[in-house]
Homo-oligomer: A and B are copies of this chain.
Amino acid sequence: MRKDTGMSEQTKIPHLVIVGAGFGGLRAARALKNKPVEVTLVDRNNFHLFQPLLYQVATSTISSNEIAYPVRSTLRGMRNVHFHLGGVDCIDLDNRYIMTERGPISYDMLVLAVGGETNYFGMESVRQNSIGLKDLSDATRIRNHLLSQFEQAAHEPDSQKRKAMLTFVIVGGGPTGVESAGAVSELIRLVLSKDYPNLNIGDVRVILLEAMGKVLANMPEELSKATARALERKHVELQFGTAVAAYDGRVIRLKSGETIETNTLIWAAGVRASRLLDTLGLEQDRAGRVKVEPTLQVPGRPEVFVIGDAASFIDKDGNPLPMIAPVAMQQATIAAKNIVRRIEGQPLEEFTYRDPGVMATIGRNQAVAHVWGLKFRGFIAWLMWLGVHILQLIGFRNRLAVLIDWAWAYIFYERANRIIGPS
């Protein structure tokens, strides 16, 4: 199984394994179509997930299948690229194989695109009792939980218990937390208020907690403030400088000692790299990301590349790149090029990130965007946000389905997926 070089011998085509079919892994695989390499793309799910819209599954606006696309469909017609469904239990970098549920797969070269997972910062009670927003089961769980709280509250005579059911806390002032808080508030005020006419809307609280002093810290001050105002207009309570210490499923205890009674804690406060990387004996940063050379290779292991959330790439200012989709996709393109160059004995290219800008939406007609060095907000930013996200979805049918659900939500103040169930 062992190869000492990634260079192809005269008759042998090297075998590349890509672990992870997210934004980075899928793009890298597709970029290697018809190249002189056999590619095996491995993922524990049979679909690629469009994570930026997970919060919309969580708030009943769209359904799971609209943001999940079968990987095999994206690889049709690619003779040298194959999909292998399976979780990766461990990786042996010295002997060059990955171990899946179905046995080992050896490789000549490896791309680690294993992505990120929710970071609970060591708080075990929070991990157990809150819900993250990193995959479909998180999103489905949140949706079922939100709707169930309303159903229970509709029959709860005790005022304090009812308020705890109708208090929804989101932790994290980045795009995920901001989008989720806005969406939860709109779901309740625009839609559920119609399903539960006896509900006292005064009992409802949607609270966004952020440890720093502002939301969207990676955006210009002006947009950060506009976002805070927009959230407040949508009846989201903002609490800055607030950090969670523990949560038992009923009461949040803040580091300040204060408490909030709630049955719902959505944790959007941090991402760390997949814990699979912790087992590899490689140098990692505080978020668990593996440190990589400018060529995206692992120092000392030139046959291994790491991209996306899994990689810690230091930019020219000495900062690691953020854990977002555009980084993963751009790195995937360069990694794929470098793999071919390595096979052909050519010098590798160094990665440079081109920041396409940042966007976040707060709900109906409201978004902020910082692109092309310009700041946008309100309705224009919202249209840009819609357009960019629709275009990035894979598959015409998925785009059409999401467009219809968005039209449904916007025109009719409806949410098409208020189902408590497996979907």
Contacts and interface: CB of A to CB of B under 8 A. Distances in A.
A134 B419 CA distance: 17
A423 B420 contact: no
Interface stretch (A22-30, A62-70, A377-385): A62-70
Interface stretch (A7-15, A283-291, A396-404): A396-404
Contacts of A84: 155
B65 A416 contact: yes
A147 interface: yes
The residue in A152, A400, A421 that gathers the most chain B C-beta atoms within 10 A of its C-beta is A421
Contact of A64 (B63, B68, B137, B398): B63
Contacts of A405: 397
Q: Which 10 A-B pairs have the closest CB atoms?
A: A64-B423, A72-B195, A63-B65, A85-B151, A70-B418, A423-B423, A46-B420, A65-B417, A68-B419, A140-B422
Interface residues of A, number: 41
What is the copy number of this chain in the assembly? 2
10 contacts: A45-B421, A46-B420, A47-B418, A72-B195, A102-B152, A136-B423, A140-B422, A397-B408, A398-B416, A401-B401
Contact of A400 (B76, B155, B398, B404): B404
Interface of A: 45-47, 63-65, 68, 70, 72-73, 76, 84-85, 102, 136-137, 140, 147-148, 151-152, 155, 194-196, 397-398, 400-401, 404-405, 408, 414, 416-423
B421 A136 contact: yes
Given A63-B65, A84-B155, A155-B102, A76 B419 contact: no
